[in-house]
Structure 1
Amino acid sequence: MNKRHWNLIKSVVDEALTYSGDERDVYLKIILEEKPAIANEVLEMLSLIEEAEAEHFMQNVKLDGEKLLSELTSDFSLSETKKSYIGKKVGNYNITQLLAVGGMGVVFKASRTDGEFNHEVAVKILKSGFDSDENIHRFRIEREILASLNHPNIGQIYDGGFTNEGLPYLVMELIEGKPIHEYCNEKKLILAERIKIFAQICRAIDFAHKNLVIHRDLKAPNIYVTTNGVVKILDFGIAKLLDSERSQLDLTETLPGQKFWTPYYASPEQVRGDQITTSTDVYSLGVLLHYLLTDTYPFDLDEKNIHDIEQIILERDPLPPSRAIKESGNIDDIAKSRSANITSLIKPLEAELDAMVLKSLRKDPRYRYNSVSQLIEELERFEAGKPLLAKSDSARYRMNKFMRRNRNILSIAALFLITIVGFSFIYTWNITQERNIAELERNKAEQAVDFLTSLFSAGNPVNAQGEILTAIDLLEIGIERAENLSDQPLLQADMLYAIGSSFRGMVMPDKAAPLLKESLELQRKHLPDDHPDIAFTLNALGSVYWSVDEDLLAEPYLYEALEMRKRLHGDNHPDVFTSLNNYALVLKDLGRLDEAENIYRENLEARKAYYGPIHSKVTYSLNNLAFLLAERGKIDEAEHYYREGLDAVRVLQGEDHSDVAIYLNNLGDLLQKQGKLDEAEEMIRESIRIRESVYGENHSNVSRSLNVLAGVLREKKDFDAAEDAANRSLEILTAIYDEDHTHIANTLAILGDIYQQGGNPDRAEEFFLESMQMRQRLYPDGNIDLAISYNRLGYFYLNTDRPVDAVPHFTNALKMYREISPSAKFTIARVQHNIGRALLETGHYSDSEVHLLNAYNFFAESDNISSSYYRRALQHLIALYRDWDKIEQAELFENELAAL
């Protein structure tokens, strides 16, 4: 038998010994079906082990027989290893007893020998004969992971090094106890006690995630409870490191046939071989909770081959815990082991826990709890008797599945109404628990169902008599019927909010805003001054106005929503975080950049503390902060936050998600500004690929990435390719928008840039003027985008030796920035620098001096802004004073420039 064959056998046996009963049978069927050549040796070895007296220790087997040790390890002299270590010293520890034999390691019991400490430990030593570079690397990884996870519920590492023979070893916490499922049943813990112990496990895994480690193999045999009742999570041997600087240390599969997923606990993405994320651990925790509650698994995998097992995991819906118990055939024993009768066991499962488990086990990671932190919050809601997220989410989830199954036979209108009905159920599950209000809300929910049923009736082909009703038609009918709910004002407000939000989601702000305003008026009249529903409507209405660049209208609504939510929830609440983000967005567009930046920074830290560093809400904050910093010229800091967000969103969503495309687009745009053109082009093309696959080839998001690509190609002097990209973007946008639009104006300006740099100034001027005139029609009272157009056209004239034409456009831009965005000091300084240059070239030295000095003072005093702005301001001041024959002033600034 060659060494590789023997390694494979031992790795399979080692893994098989972590299971018992049906679990082991399923694992062996999978492996031996794939590797029949090792079947006889594996089964024979397991038979020998089962005949020996053995007990579990750290997922391996305690071996008591010298004969058995010799038989199982003769090829690699394990008996000699035992003789050579017991009674010997490794580091500061004296080896006293052999505890366990693993696939490539041997675990000994040891005690401290230097008198400094008096405690016993476990020492894991790589077996002689297994000391390849790869296995030593794996040992180093295990030490790396454990060393980063200092938590009371995670098995700890104390030390490590190399033996005198050159074999690596780890000194670990000595865990003596029982696997968690055995402990819970032996103690006959009730459901509430099992939930508490499960919450401890979740907190430990959440800690690991926040330290950028995914376990990947959570299961009952990997979780022990010590004799003192302390939970200990073990075996991070195949954990995944999320830290981009350490990700190259991830353990990899080294033996054919060795799987990094356990059938009963494997998530669909593991079975498919997709990217592993923190959501994979959420899934495994859902299986574990199912097992702790019921002694059963979500799927029956007995007597199944590998193909059937994979299909079951990928396609079949998991059994809810209550149903799994009923179908187990062992319900009485299960109840007794939980100190319960059948009724008291089933009732809480059906009422709450089924939904919690099933949400954790969703096939699509996007529909699970978005983090272990959120699962912990759900457990806390359960213990406090509050409504569960999973209960409110389940109706929407079932409807989404229904729509996917029936997308070819359901009309757009019917699909849309299903979503509206889902909204009503979600609302109902989140009503207050106070009895008198609950009764009111129950009646309101019934009215809501009647209301929406009437809309279904309108869409019924029999009632419609052949007329095709679109989603917009049905919403219009909904508005008419909502007007008949005046005797139920709060229900009327809810329906108007739902329909208004739907129009908002369909990018129809002119229809959304009046409905939301009417809903808000009803809520203010019939609800307390501070109420969550009012805050939601304020936020929605402000967001509608912001989406159409009506920032002055948006600001008071978003501010009121923020302050109300702070009064209702305090500072540390998800709704407050959302309002802070939205308020900062409008502040940015209003030019109150210092305020916006401060809010973004504070909100980012608050969300990290609340959700952990790997969370979708955190990635939104990272992107918004990076975008603002880039606008303010803090380029290096912006790049840092973009890259942090990109790494996180890839972990959360995988490589082909639309959020990844957003980050690639924005980071590519930033890299272009830094002159990193090859990397920028690579990122933008990847963003385009993702957006085309998600949205289709003719979507506005695709056009945005094409515009950035055009800019990169322009900087690379590939003007033909840049023109092609911009023209394709323009074709997409003109097909989408029938009239003037800010996106079209932006693309026209991009084409102007391409023609200018490509040596065609006449065409450039044509496009710059068309862009500016479109924005003048769109924003007759002024707007930031219009200010950008003025500045852009002025810059064109300045660089084509037409400074006289440049001055009025720069002046218009400066006036508009000062009126609309007075705190946009970086942008204002850049415009003043441009005016100063133009006035210098026209010989208006005194006026030029005012603007150039203002720009110089800002750039000289600003931190985190590229020094190139400071240098250029100095250079133009020197040119001004030289031309003006003010030699002393010129020399003064020349000395300052030389000092740089």
Structure 2
Amino acid sequence: IPACAGHQETSSASQEKWLALNREFIVQHTKGAHDQALTTALQGVALAQEFTPRENADLATSLNNLGVTYAAMGSFPEAREALERALAMRQKVLGLNHAEVATTLSNLGELYVDMNLPSEAEDAFIRALEIREDGLGPDDADLAETLNNLGELYLRRGLLDQGDNLLQRALIIREEKLGASHPQVARTLDNLAGVEQARNNFSKAQELLERSLIIKEKALGPLHPWLTSTLTSLAEVLMAQNMIADAETPARRAVNIGEAAFGQDNVRLALPLTALGNLMRRQGRFAEAEEILTRALRLQEQTLPADHLDIAISLGNLASVHYAQGRFAEARSFYERALAINEAGLGQNHADVAQLLHNLGVVNRKLGDLEQARNMFMQALSIR
């Protein structure tokens, strides 16, 4: 879990107050009450800074709590600072191979994924995996967390077989140790659905997501922010099967839950908004689609690095909306920006790069630039 109990030996009033704050934080974090959790985590940090020695396990725990809260709220630079401080302190106070060092490494890995730092994420997850395999054994629930996270990273990088193997292993452990109805089981089901979606096995992905949604709703309630990712993915999978009318309910529900949990201007809303915007595009509601997708892009650009792959996806979506309206010059501009990001982040031989080159070929042909269109098509074919 993200928040772990501290280790101060003193029984002072300050120590008792810190323990109470830590327990309160765990409850708030689990409920997804991020604003409350942030206040509690900051109070925990302030209090633990008064303990001696100045670098202590309780302060590291509160910094870890603060970091995962900032990450959940989309405040990535603040999250990174807190988690890297927590990691350094835990390594110094507890030792390099302590279980709580692995916890912070795992949290950092998840943050690095969000920040489009895949190499840093992989390093953090693998180090956490080594610590947990050595210290906990091959079938521990905390080990399953790291397997899940590393599997999700490989999924994002298109390494489907490697990701699938790790996620299947995580699912077996979580079902055995936590029970089939635990929300952590649902998280792994979400990722396995992502594998099936990437393989174009949309009906299987839908089945996994619907199972995940039932688990989350029962365990966490119908308004918990963890539902947003499942609902968003479900809407995408339904759209991929041309079940457009069915996709609107989960897409709108994901946005509504996200806005209630995170506020109107949080980057965590970008993916639900993207699903809803793409749905509007599929329905021919181009003005609504453009407004929603522009909002998603704005949220990403104000928070994420300029070369983040999610920004490329949003640019491609907006290009599609402009193309559908015959606004080919604007579509070309968006596609070119998306292509530059994907070539830098994925390499020039990735399937997503090929698709963007093909799209640019189509747009250039519409604009009458036949030589450029031919070049784009040839580049796309050389990749495929």
Task: Name the TM tier (shorter chain).
Answer: 0.7 to 0.9
1:676 pairs, out of 201, 210, 225, with: 201
Contact residue 496 and residue 515 of structure 1 kept, 8 A: yes
Partner of 1:772: 294
Superposed, which structure 2 residues align to 1:24-43 within 5 Å?
Answer: none
Partner of 1:809: 334
Contact residue 839 and residue 845 of structure 1 kept, 8 A: no
Partner of 2:237: 712
**RMSD of aligned alpha carbons:** 3.9
Pairwise CA distance, 1:581:
0.5
* Alpha-carbon distance between aligned partners in 2 of 1:507 and 1:689, rounded to the nearest angstrom: 18
User: Deviations for 1:659-686, whole angstroms, at most 9, x for unmatched residues?
Assistant: 2222222212320220112322222222
Would the alpha carbon gap of residues 541 and 653 (structure 1) be closer, same or farther in structure 2, given more than 3 Å must change?
Answer: closer
* Alpha-carbon distance between aligned partners in 1 of 2:17 and 2:68, rounded to the nearest angstrom: 21
Pairwise CA distance, 1:797:
3.9
Partner of 1:571: 96
Contact residue 790 and residue 810 of structure 1 kept, 8 A: yes
Bigger CA drift: 548-557 or 719-728?
719-728
Partner of 1:662: 187
Partner of 2:144: 619
Partner of 1:581: 106
Would the alpha carbon gap of residues 431 and 835 (structure 1) be closer, same or farther in structure 2, given more than 3 Å must change?
Answer: closer
Partner of 2:76: 551
User: Deviations for 1:83-131, whole angstroms, at most 9, x for unmatched residues?
Assistant: xxxxxxxxxxxxxxxxxxxxxxxxxxxxxxxxxxxxxxxxxxxxxxxxx
Contact residue 803 and residue 838 of structure 1 kept, 8 A: no
* Alpha-carbon distance between aligned partners in 2 of 1:533 and 1:876, rounded to the nearest angstrom: 59
SS at match of 1:596: helix
Would the alpha carbon gap of residues 732 and 525 (structure 1) be closer, same or farther in structure 2, given more than 3 Å must change?
Answer: closer
* Alpha-carbon distance between aligned partners in 1 of 2:174 and 2:21, rounded to the nearest angstrom: 35
Partner of 2:134: 609
Superposed, which structure 2 residues align to 1:850-889 within 5 Å?
Answer: 876-877=378-379
The alignment status of 1:590 with 2:124, answered yes or no, reads no
Contact residue 286 and residue 325 of structure 2 kept, 8 A: no
SS at match of 2:285: helix
Would the alpha carbon gap of residues 557 and 732 (structure 1) be closer, same or farther in structure 2, given more than 3 Å must change?
Answer: closer
Partner of 1:688: 213
Would the alpha carbon gap of residues 618 and 835 (structure 1) be closer, same or farther in structure 2, given more than 3 Å must change?
Answer: same
Contact residue 600 and residue 624 of structure 1 kept, 8 A: yes
Higher RCO structure (Cα 8 Å, ≥6 apart):
2
User: Deviations for 1:196-251, whole angstroms, at most 9, x for unmatched residues?
Assistant: xxxxxxxxxxxxxxxxxxxxxxxxxxxxxxxxxxxxxxxxxxxxxxxxxxxxxxxx
Would the alpha carbon gap of residues 590 and 705 (structure 1) be closer, same or farther in structure 2, given more than 3 Å must change?
Answer: closer
Contact residue 748 and residue 768 of structure 1 kept, 8 A: no
* Alpha-carbon distance between aligned partners in 2 of 1:661 and 1:724, rounded to the nearest angstrom: 20
Would the alpha carbon gap of residues 838 and 713 (structure 1) be closer, same or farther in structure 2, given more than 3 Å must change?
Answer: closer
Superposed, which structure 2 residues align to 1:237-252 within 5 Å?
Answer: none
Partner of 1:630: 155
Pairwise CA distance, 1:845:
6.4
1:647 pairs, out of 172, 178, 202, with: 172
Instruction: State the structure with more CA Rg.
Output: 1
Superposed, which structure 2 residues align to 1:817-836 within 5 Å?
Answer: 824-825=345-346, 836=357
Would the alpha carbon gap of residues 673 and 696 (structure 1) be closer, same or farther in structure 2, given more than 3 Å must change?
Answer: same
Paired residue type of 1:679: K
SS at match of 1:613: coil
Gaps of 5+ in 1: 1-422, 433-440, 448-487, 853-874, 880-892
Partner of 1:537: 62
Paired residue type of 1:690: I
Contact residue 593 and residue 823 of structure 1 kept, 8 A: no
Contact residue 748 and residue 771 of structure 1 kept, 8 A: yes
Would the alpha carbon gap of residues 537 and 653 (structure 1) be closer, same or farther in structure 2, given more than 3 Å must change?
Answer: closer
* Alpha-carbon distance between aligned partners in 1 of 2:127 and 2:140, rounded to the nearest angstrom: 16
Would the alpha carbon gap of residues 540 and 669 (structure 1) be closer, same or farther in structure 2, given more than 3 Å must change?
Answer: same
* Alpha-carbon distance between aligned partners in 2 of 1:718 and 1:502, rounded to the nearest angstrom: 38
* Alpha-carbon distance between aligned partners in 2 of 1:848 and 1:549, rounded to the nearest angstrom: 41
Output the TM-score relative to the length of structure 2.
Answer: 0.79
Contact residue 113 and residue 153 of structure 2 kept, 8 A: yes
Gaps of 5+ in 2: none
Pairwise CA distance, 1:655:
2.5
Bigger CA drift: 619-628 or 714-723?
714-723
Would the alpha carbon gap of residues 641 and 612 (structure 1) be closer, same or farther in structure 2, given more than 3 Å must change?
Answer: same
Paired residue type of 2:63: L
Paired residue type of 2:295: Q
Contact residue 662 and residue 687 of structure 1 kept, 8 A: yes
Pairwise CA distance, 1:515:
5.5
Calculate percent identity across the aligned residue pairs: 23
Superposed, which structure 2 residues align to 1:311-390 within 5 Å?
Answer: none
Of Structure 1 and Structure 2, which has the larger fraction of its residues in helix? 2
